[in-house]
Structure 1
Amino acid sequence: MSPGFRLGPENEAYVARLCQQLDGIPLAIELAAACMRMLTVEQILERLTKRFSLLTAGDRAGQMRHHTLRAAVDWSFELCTEQESLLWARCSVFVGEFDLDAVEYICADEMFPPEEVFTALMGLIAKSIVSRIVDDQDYHYRMLETIRQYGHERLAESGDEDNLRCRHRDYYLRLAEQCDSECSGSNQAHWIRRLRTERFNIWVALDLCATTPGEARTGLHMASALCFMWTAGGLLRSGRHWLDRMLSLNTEPTHERIRALWINGWLAHLQGDYASSVALLDESRELALLCNDDVGLTYAIQFLGDTENWHNNAERALPLLEEALERHRASGQWNAIALQIFPLRIHTAHLLGRTDLATELLRECRTLCAPLGERWALSWTEWSAAIARWAAGDLEKASEYLRESLRKKGELNEWLGIACCLSLLACVAAAGGDAHRAAVLFGASDTMWELADRMLYGIEKLLDWVRQSTQLSRKALGKKAFEAAYQQGERMTQEEVIAYALGDKLPQQASTAAAAPAPLLTKRELEVVALIAAGMSNKQIAASLVISQRTAESHVENILTKMGLTSRTQIVAWHSRQEDSP
């Protein structure tokens, strides 16, 4: 180490990052310290993508495996059986977490059958090469970045990297297609949870399609097949990124392009990007007419009507939504996306003062959803029906519909929907004179929008309702009391606020959930927690960790989900308690 080096406030964050990016491996940290004779901590961090050629200045008097980082990992590699070494290299195609099904599909072949892959995986876990992550539902696995990079070098040397990357892409394409075909039934919560967990590997698969000649159309198909993840999973920004990229790479007038256009137009609307939404949906509609794609035409019309409706163009929206509904009825092909026509059509009924029609549409939607076991579209239909009742002054029925919707959305862990329900329940509470409850729910709902890409705040009509109701509650309570109640909502976990909104009794242990440790956080996620606690934005976190902003945002989403929290404020509070713990 450089004799003049001192640890202090100006460099301690960089040193912490260095230790964390080296996975806390003592030898790696020691070798990095030796590099400080020539490099600053920041310069070492910049070179860690080639850590095995960098960390070579170990104690030459010690054992050979302590001379360099590569020698240490070589030694571990040599302790593995032939099958374990092979699996180590092949598992390097994964980024983040992966499951047994993925390992057996991607890493097995005729010479390395699935049963041998399973045995090798158990051996790598026993040797701490692969770590096991346990959640309430499944087992997942991951490799430390140092171990993964070493495995990737071995895979590249084997000449099998391209084959493994293609199999990796094929597996996650198959997963996307499976979700696309099953997301309208009783497994919606499973698919939301699984695709959020798998999203980093999905990004890798999509990137392969985008960067490999001749694969752009496959990438367009895959990005479209992930429609349920982009919407129900609350990953609007990621969906826009990948659909924009794939659409730019494949401009042929195909059915895949028609579908990608209307999905991207829908996402643009949910983000409040009216101009892009209309442009994408108009192009999808025109192309569907050209290609005689009746299905694509129906969805383009449906979401064009949705966009126009929420941007105060009711005269244009109503005939579009009526046409889309009749098309769906005629085809009889009901799925989760088609069923979204009901909340959209109910909203136009509300604008016309037709609460009777809104009730009839809700009843029809419930009838269609029951045999499917569908909850996502039904919860949005109940949410829209609540708006109609609220506008008609029927606060009791509005609250009933919102609670029914919120219960479903809580079971699905649907960030967008939970945030929308909390916001409207706050508005209903304000209209009913319960200013304290409204303030608590506003505090809780505002934190939820950090998970939900702030969909509500992209739609001015909804934002106006929230502004008016917030002002009403603040005036009724007074500034000090309003802020106290608002902050109470901010501090609630997702489980706590849903129970509060539903009037359910929270289990005893849940009240201390935010204070409990988060054993499932990875080293990188703990690093992100520390940076959030330091007051950094996602952009600043990305710059600090030398990662993309989208990756930083994904880390924050992961942390909130794993810890059962809903805001950065709660992350900071949790971090503070850990710092204060003995």
Structure 2
Amino acid sequence: MRQRPIPRRTPGNLPSDLSGFVGRGGELSELGRLLDASRLVTVTGAGGVGKTRLVLAAARAVADAAAGPGETGGTPDPAQERYCDGVWLAELASVRDPALLELTLAEALGLTDHTTRPPRTVLAEHLAERRLLLVLDGFEQLVDETADLVRDLLRRSPGLRVLASGRRPLTLDGELSWPLAPLGPEEALALLIERTSAADPAFALTESNRAELAELCARLDGLPLALELAAGRLRTLSPGQVLSRLEDRFALLTGGSRGALPRHRALRTAIGWSHELCTSGERLLWARLSVFAGQFDLDAAEYVCAGPDLPVDSVLDLIGELLGQSLLVREETAAGVRYRMLESVRIYGAGWLESLGDARRLRRRHRDWYMGLATWCELDWFSPRQEEVAALVEAELANLRLALECCLDEPEEIHLGQYLAGTLWFYWAGCGRLTEGRHWLDRTLEGDLGLAGAEYESSRLKALWVLGYVAALQGDSVASMSALYECRDGAARSENPLAAAYAVHRMGCLALVSDDMTRAGELLGSALERYREAGELNSNVLMCQVELAMALAFQGELAGALTLCREVRDICEERGERWTKAYALYVLAYAALDAGGTAEARRLLAECVAINHTFRDLVGLVLAVELLALVTVAEGHPAEAAVLQGAAEPLWDGVGMRLFGSGYFNAPRLMCQERAGELLGAERYASCARHGRTLPLDVLVERALRGPEPAPVPAGPLPRPRGAADRADRLMEHPEPKSRKPAGSPKGEPAG
């Protein structure tokens, strides 16, 4: 029997096509030809002409070609080589801050970087040796910044190709700009029929309605968005009624300005016509929903949009009506059911909101909702809903950015931005968003001109200790200590013992990664006492206890470290907390390995790896992988250990200084490298490590969780390590600290 091909998996993040792609066969073929001819292709056209749908269809075709015929053979497609590293989509329409452009691209590519390196450097280094297609959708509001970034990346990344869509070209050398025309008469009619039938299965094309439907397609100039809106109306109106309303009510809009392109006039006609056919409540909700960026949920819509003129219990029904008219899109996400307004529709609604004079009030109301959301998410982070919180904040990131911008628009409300940026500490530190967190924390603190007043000092202090925490994790000890000392001194002046506890805690964390274990133990112990006096218990407090356990373990006090981490593990399991638990498991695995319990160490580290990968916590993940490599060589699998060590290296590039430059954290790596190298030989060890460096993150995690095959190499006990591993053994007992105090600490600074 002939074996069926096994589909290959192409890396990427393209969304599924939920409603089907109608027509455009010729355009798809032409776009494929252009991508063969140029490394930069830009599809241009009016809003609503179908640019996004076309480039996504073209990108899916590229991804399918790159997947190839499978493992059983077949003629390879050139795309398999050209796009072997995948097809990736970056949606830019909701990005307004130029500083977030590069971060958005990094997020789209799945990059997590904890360092202080510029995001452009991170992007360039990631793309330098890769062959992939990057799809950029909706860049026109940042066209100059996008053009500059694309130019730089294409120059530095020879295997990169870019497919962009926007209302104008990027005007770069080598760019092939292709203006997208509206649909032809037959394709426009096919799209109208398909969308109307999807909404009303009883609808069908007949000889009696064909002429009117064809005229409607012509009147709407073949614009897909306009046709989608018309399809929403054909559920309740006949084609003749739609035509008459379009003619009678919008002759002025159809004429438009003298210089307007016909398709621009047709789009405005279609959207304006839909607006006029809405009830007053639907129009009002449409305008108010325009304050959201990207997706939103029902609760947010009800809070932000309801009022005396729009009762809260009417919002759900009105959303249903807007969905039925194709003015809203419903999407299933990891955070639940959410809604999204197409950009052209949103812009139209925003114009009406401005004309009503209500835009500023609605933006502030939007900000207030997302400040409340962040507050509840911070509380829920210390609960069984931790993973749901991470997914929710991820889904709401565009709206949280908008809320932060709103806070920064008013100097006297800068304290609200400080509060919001500080409250999101769990997302910045726990979900791999250090660079973005640093961006907002710096902006809110730089904008503090003392206008907020002493009554808001607690918000400023929170932003300071979170900045100190984030900077420490990025390896920026100078900025970290500066923020933490400012926080501690401010806490003393304002008599805020809780802010002081957080400042002392993060000073202890910085001492820990600086190899000053004595000072780390003093500061972390002092912070724990302060937390207890204040009645504080959350993930931060438990993390402080884990960090104290690390300081003890590195000094050989494993019994004390075990007691602290077992207590943390028990509390985490009782409360449903997983993020801090992962770090406690790391210390418990360290102690288990020291006692010879490799099986127990592997079990603990596997859970640790899974949790850290779930939350995109690169620091915790790479530490666990490094220790797992040592466990693996101790089990008799030196080749697999070398692969894991190699795989950890690029992860450290995203964290910053490898193993923080710490002799204590580096000791397991040195020991593993020595033992695996002796068993494999230098050449094979290097080959295995090189293979590890090529593993994508998801593949590495899957491999780490699966474990090595149950055939150890060699038989019998491992030889006694020599050389670097002996030095590593001594380091694990009494390492030489690289610094007796954290960078930036004053001489003679007392603990706490």
Q: TM-score range by the shorter chain?
A: 0.7 to 0.9
Deviations 1:36-71 (A, max 9, x none): xxxx99992369xxxxxx999999x99554323243
Check if 1:177 corresponds to 2:375.
yes
More moved, 481-490 vs 191-200: 481-490
- Secondary structure in 1 aligned to 2:339? strand
1:44 aligned residue (165, 168, 186)? 168
- The equivalent residue for 2:42 is 15
Check if 1:76 corresponds to 2:271.
yes
More moved, 308-317 vs 143-152: 143-152
Between the aligned partners of 1:19 and 1:426, the Cα distance in structure 2 is 54
Between the aligned partners of 1:201 and 1:403, the Cα distance in structure 2 is 35
Deviations 1:74-120 (A, max 9, x none): 31342351333333332222222222222222122222223432223
Q: Is the 8 A contact 1:347 1:388 kept in 2?
A: no
More moved, 357-366 vs 433-442: 433-442
Between the aligned partners of 1:25 and 1:287, the Cα distance in structure 2 is 50
- The equivalent residue for 2:639 is 436
Between the aligned partners of 1:309 and 1:18, the Cα distance in structure 2 is 55
Check if 1:203 corresponds to 2:417.
no
- The equivalent residue for 1:422 is 625
Deviations 1:146-180 (A, max 9, x none): 33333322322222211111111011001011112
Which runs of structure 2 are paired with 1:294-443 in the superposition (5 Å)?
294-390=497-593, 395-410=598-613, 412=615, 414-430=617-633, 432-442=635-645
Between the aligned partners of 2:461 and 2:638, the Cα distance in structure 1 is 47
Between the aligned partners of 1:270 and 1:300, the Cα distance in structure 2 is 14
CA change 1:435–1:287 in 2 (3 A) is: same
Between the aligned partners of 1:422 and 1:319, the Cα distance in structure 2 is 29
Between the aligned partners of 1:427 and 1:144, the Cα distance in structure 2 is 51
- The equivalent residue for 2:297 is 99
Between the aligned partners of 1:460 and 1:22, the Cα distance in structure 2 is 54
- Secondary structure in 2 aligned to 1:139? strand
Between the aligned partners of 1:286 and 1:369, the Cα distance in structure 2 is 32
Which runs of structure 2 are paired with 1:114-513 in the superposition (5 Å)?
114-136=312-334, 138-250=336-448, 251=450, 254-390=457-593, 395-410=598-613, 412=615, 414-430=617-633, 432-442=635-645, 444-445=647-648, 453-454=654-655, 457=658, 459-461=660-662, 462=665, 466=669, 469=672, 473=676, 476=680, 479=683, 483=687, 487=691, 490-491=694-695, 494=698, 497-503=700-706
CA change 1:23–1:441 in 2 (3 A) is: farther
- Secondary structure in 1 aligned to 2:51? coil
Between the aligned partners of 1:132 and 1:489, the Cα distance in structure 2 is 40
Q: Is the 8 A contact 1:100 1:140 kept in 2?
A: yes
Q: Is the 8 A contact 2:488 2:504 kept in 1?
A: yes
- Secondary structure in 2 aligned to 1:459? helix
More moved, 407-416 vs 199-208: 407-416
Between the aligned partners of 1:375 and 1:89, the Cα distance in structure 2 is 41
- Secondary structure in 1 aligned to 2:331? strand
The one-letter code sitting in structure 2 at the alignment partner of 1:45 is P
The one-letter code sitting in structure 2 at the alignment partner of 1:92 is S
1:25, CA displacement in angstroms?
6.8
1:219, CA displacement in angstroms?
1.0
The one-letter code sitting in structure 1 at the alignment partner of 2:530 is R
Q: Determine what percentage of the aligned residue pairs are the same residue.
A: 29
1:238, CA displacement in angstroms?
1.0
1:204, CA displacement in angstroms?
0.7
CA change 1:74–1:482 in 2 (3 A) is: farther
- Secondary structure in 1 aligned to 2:507? helix
Q: Is the 8 A contact 1:18 1:45 kept in 2?
A: no
CA change 1:18–1:448 in 2 (3 A) is: farther
CA change 1:117–1:363 in 2 (3 A) is: same
The one-letter code sitting in structure 2 at the alignment partner of 1:78 is W
The one-letter code sitting in structure 2 at the alignment partner of 1:221 is Y
Q: Is the 8 A contact 1:353 1:392 kept in 2?
A: no
CA change 1:10–1:76 in 2 (3 A) is: same
Between the aligned partners of 1:78 and 1:96, the Cα distance in structure 2 is 24
CA change 1:128–1:287 in 2 (3 A) is: same
Between the aligned partners of 2:573 and 2:535, the Cα distance in structure 1 is 15
Between the aligned partners of 1:309 and 1:486, the Cα distance in structure 2 is 31
1:429, CA displacement in angstroms?
2.2
Point out the structure with the larger helix share.
1
Deviations 1:246-292 (A, max 9, x none): 11222566122222111110111111111111111111111112222
The one-letter code sitting in structure 2 at the alignment partner of 1:108 is A
CA change 1:58–1:17 in 2 (3 A) is: closer
If the length of structure 2 is used for normalisation, what is the TM-score? 0.57
- Secondary structure in 2 aligned to 1:134? strand
CA change 1:447–1:143 in 2 (3 A) is: farther
1:15, CA displacement in angstroms?
1.9
1:223, CA displacement in angstroms?
1.1
1:128, CA displacement in angstroms?
2.9
If the length of structure 1 is used for normalisation, what is the TM-score? 0.72
Q: Is the 8 A contact 1:355 1:389 kept in 2?
A: no
Q: Is the 8 A contact 1:355 1:392 kept in 2?
A: no
Between the aligned partners of 2:54 and 2:676, the Cα distance in structure 1 is 58
- The equivalent residue for 2:731 is none
CA change 1:128–1:306 in 2 (3 A) is: same
- Secondary structure in 1 aligned to 2:527? helix
Between the aligned partners of 1:468 and 1:146, the Cα distance in structure 2 is 59
Deviations 1:451-501 (A, max 9, x none): xx525747122467547745764662654675467546854563x544532
- The equivalent residue for 2:244 is none
Between the aligned partners of 1:27 and 1:373, the Cα distance in structure 2 is 44
Q: Is the 8 A contact 1:240 1:268 kept in 2?
A: yes
1:380, CA displacement in angstroms?
1.3
1:416, CA displacement in angstroms?
4.3
- The equivalent residue for 1:520 is none
- The equivalent residue for 2:128 is none
Q: Is the 8 A contact 1:209 1:218 kept in 2?
A: yes
Between the aligned partners of 1:361 and 1:469, the Cα distance in structure 2 is 27
Q: Is the 8 A contact 2:590 2:601 kept in 1?
A: yes
- Secondary structure in 2 aligned to 1:15? strand
Segments of structure 2 that go 5 or more residues without pairing to the other structure are: 1-32, 56-146, 148-164, 172-178, 185-214, 222-261, 709-752
More moved, 246-255 vs 171-180: 246-255
Between the aligned partners of 2:687 and 2:324, the Cα distance in structure 1 is 52
The one-letter code sitting in structure 1 at the alignment partner of 2:580 is A
Q: Is the 8 A contact 1:58 1:68 kept in 2?
A: no
Segments of structure 1 that go 5 or more residues without pairing to the other structure are: 1-5, 29-39, 48-53, 506-582
Between the aligned partners of 2:340 and 2:527, the Cα distance in structure 1 is 45
The one-letter code sitting in structure 1 at the alignment partner of 2:169 is L
Between the aligned partners of 2:535 and 2:600, the Cα distance in structure 1 is 30
Between the aligned partners of 1:42 and 1:203, the Cα distance in structure 2 is 22
- Secondary structure in 1 aligned to 2:538? coil
- Secondary structure in 2 aligned to 1:215? helix
- Secondary structure in 1 aligned to 2:601? helix
Deviations 1:278-322 (A, max 9, x none): 111111111112222111111111110110121122232221112
- Secondary structure in 2 aligned to 1:133? strand
Between the aligned partners of 1:393 and 1:331, the Cα distance in structure 2 is 40
Q: Is the 8 A contact 2:46 2:264 kept in 1?
A: no
Between the aligned partners of 1:130 and 1:23, the Cα distance in structure 2 is 16
